[in-house]
Amino acid sequence: SLFFFYVRLIRRLAGKIAVITGGASGIGKATAAEFVRNGARVVIADIQDDLGRAVAAELGSDNACCYTRCDVTDEAQVADAVDLAVARHGKLDVMFNNAGITGSPGWPPLGAVDLADFDRVMAVNARGVLAGLKHAARVMVPRRRGSIICTASATGLCGGMGAIAYSASKATVIGLVRAVAAEMASSGVRVNAISPYAIPTPLALATVASWHPERGLSAEEIKRMVEIDLNVMYGTKLEEEDIARAALYLASDDAKYVNGHNLVVDGGTTVS
């Protein structure tokens, strides 16, 4: 009927199965909601069990969303999350490698940089993404289809004062995506990055708060710093949902020829 034709038109991921790392909060959570709204079934893979279960319960009517604990620094846990999606739903169409951390509070200058912090940031943001790429490709390549999306950052393009480990890790994500996309091109699997600018998620709020501990800024003031001082754009704020819609595009068949791309969602900040 016309009704179901219309429903099919607006559900751009009907029947697709997705894993979202870091899906318990922020960008990952907004993307889980957007994917479910568009007909996908989503496995949220995170280390925040209570939050992850709550998000899954909120989105999970009709088996649409579930939570699994997955620390992306442990390859076996990433493999398990992928295998869980396949066991539960029969396949994996979309892998969103989105879990990330910003590193030690305050983002100290080069002279005070902690090399162990560099290892921790790279373990989550870069090695975790590589594990996600490897294990998603393991189940996608035999089916000759799939879309892998990795969250990089505008910081991976333009650097930024103090963002030493974070910027390096996000530039690495862009490099990983390009290298793996070249290999995947002949196998029907697409690999792309998204580079968001600042959004007041728990990650960004905690990072900005740590820059000026002596100022004792209120939560509201910190939020305003992320939204206004960092988003130099046309009076509109960048939101998690803006990234979720970018992920929806890359996940969907609308992007069937888009491979190896870094979709920058920053209102032009990195080019101005």
- Cβ-based neighbours of 182, under 8 Å, separated by 6 or more: 260
Label the pairing between strands 17-21 and 41-46: parallel
Strand, coil or helix: 66: strand
Strand, coil or helix: 136: helix
Q: Smallest distance from the beta carbon of 184 to ligand NAD, in angstroms?
A: 21
Among 12, 19, 20, 21, binds ligand NAD (CB under 6 A): 21
Among 15, 105, 109, 202, binds ligand NAD (CB under 6 A): 202
Edge-to-edge strands of the sheet including 146-151? Answer: 65-69, 41-46, 17-21, 94-97, 146-151, 189-196, 262-265
56 lies in the site for ligand NAD, by CB under 6 A? no
Interacting stretch for ligand NAD, rule CB under 6 A, among 22-30, 60-68, 83-91, 113-121?
A: 22-30
Among 73, 104, 231, 252, binds ligand NAD (CB under 6 A): 73
Among 140, 198, 208, 244, binds ligand NAD (CB under 6 A): 198
Interacting stretch for ligand NAD, rule CB under 6 A, among 11-19, 94-102, 130-138, 183-191?
A: 94-102
204 lies in the site for ligand NAD, by CB under 6 A? yes
The CA–CA distances, whole Å, from 74 to 80, 120, 169, 197, 232 equal: 10, 12, 17, 27, 37
Strand, coil or helix: 268: coil
Q: Smallest distance from the beta carbon of 113 to ligand NAD, in angstroms?
A: 18
Q: Which of 166, 234, 249, 257 is catalytic?
A: 166
99 lies in the site for ligand NAD, by CB under 6 A? yes
Sign of CA dihedral 175, 187, 129, 153: positive
DSSP strand E in 142-259: where? 146-151, 189-196
Tell me, yes or no, if 166 is annotated catalytic: yes
Q: Taking CB under 6 A as the criterion, which residues in 207-266 touch ligand NAD?
A: none
196 lies in the site for ligand NAD, by CB under 6 A? yes
150 lies in the site for ligand NAD, by CB under 6 A? no
71 lies in the site for ligand NAD, by CB under 6 A? yes
Structural contact between residues 189 and 141, judged by C-beta atoms closer than 8 angstroms: yes
Minimal CA–CA distance to 67: which of 88, 44, 85, 83? 44
Where do contacts with ligand NAD occur on this chain (CB under 6 A)?
Answer: 21-22, 24-28, 46-48, 70-73, 98-101, 124, 151, 153, 196, 198-199, 201-204
Among all residues, which ones are annotated catalytic? 166
